[in-house]
Amino acid sequence: MVEKGEAAALGEVLESLKSDYPGLAGDEVDAMVARARDDFAGRPIRDFVPLLVERRIRSQLAAS
């Protein structure tokens, strides 16, 4: 379950990525964020998950 603060931060990450990478389909960005978020499921400390998700995706996009 994603907490309200985390969900809001992930929403901001989504909007930032969609704005910075307009050539990617919105649903593709949504899927990338969902997969990255799922990698952190069950981790006890949630404060940095949105930041880690964003960094992971930006790194993947820069490498491709």
With 60 as the cut, is the pLDDT of residue 1 above it?
no
Domain boundaries, the chain: 4-63
Is 0.85 surpassed by the pTM of this model? Answer: yes
Residues 6+ apart with CB under 8 A from 42: none
pLDDT in tens, 2-46: 678 999 999 999 999 999 999 999 999 999 999 999 999 999 889
pLDDT in tens, 52-64: 999 999 999 999 8
